[in-house]
Structure formats: C-alpha cells, structure tokens
Amino acid sequence: MLQRAQVRITRRLEGELLIVHDLPLASYDVLMQLAEAPRRRLRMNDLADRVLLSRSGLTRLIDRLQRDGLVTREACADDARGLFAVLTDLGADRLADATPTYLRGVKGEFADLLEPGELAQMRTMLAKLA
C-alpha cells in the first residue's frame, strides 16, 4: 500500500512539474538539494546519496542540467578525482518558479487528504523512518 501511494503521488507531482515547468521530479530534487547546501554545491557522491540515484544515473542527470545551464561542475581542490555539482543562478530561478507547483501538488495529493490529527501522526511516523 505504501508503494502504491508513493507511486501515485510522485507520478502526479512529476506530471505537473513537466507540464508547467518542463522539469522532471528528479531534476527538481537535485536543484532543491543544491539550493539547500552550503554555497549551493555538493560533492557528486553526496548528492547521489541525497537524491537516491546511482552515481551513473546522477552523472547523466547532471549532464542534462548542465546543458540547460541549471548547474555547473567544479573540481574539488583537495581531491583531484572529486567533483562538485553547483546550482547556477538560472537553476535557482527555475527552482523558485517550480516550487509553488511542487508544494501545491504535495498539499493536494497528500496533506489535504489527511485530517489534522492524521497529519500530526504522519509527521511523527516519517520522523522515525527518516
């Protein structure tokens, strides 16, 4: 049941983000993670862990985001093999445009369907799981 709910919610969120902003949900997640990071940048390995993508999957996604000007890559000064993904100003603007759509979708597909007491219980349960 949990998997069905997760799939239903993410499909609808992704659909709205694609229709309104031409932005897949995975791309939104990457932009959001970078926006919340210090200096708007994360090591690629850390970013892959946060967005639950394989390293190769993240590399392909970052390639697309870089082509669109939403992120850049920077070499890591203390590790010649390390790379940072960095949110650009254009990426931050695109995220800011898409965030109201994302939040409206979460509210409509999740939060609005629960009673206030249920929502409080859900917060407690998700905190335990996270």
Q: Which of 2-11, 20-29, 76-85, 105-114 has the highest mean pLDDT?
A: 20-29
Amino acid code (one letter) for 76? C
94, 21 in Cβ contact below 8 A? Answer: yes
pLDDT tier, 30 (very low <50, low <70, confident <90, very high otherwise): very high
How many domains does the chain divide into? Answer: 1
Q: Within a 10 A sphere around the Cβ of 27, how many other Cβ atoms?
A: 26
What is the model's pLDDT at position 80? Answer: 67
Torsion (CA) 105, 56, 32, 2 in degrees, nearest 10: 40
pLDDT at 44: 93
Across all residues in the chain, what is the average pLDDT?
92
Cα dihedral angle (47, 85, 94, 64), rounded to 10 degrees?
-90
Q: What is the pLDDT of residue 111?
A: 85
Residue-wise pLDDT for 77-116, tens only, equals: 777 678 999 999 999 999 999 999 999 999 998 888 888 8
- pLDDT average, residue stretch 1-19: 91
In which domain, by residue range, is 98 found? Answer: 1-128
Give the separation between CA 94 and CA 73, rounded to whole angstroms: 18
39 against 2, higher pLDDT: 39
- Per-residue pLDDT, averaged over 39-61, amounts to 92
Domain CATH for 17: 1.10.10.10
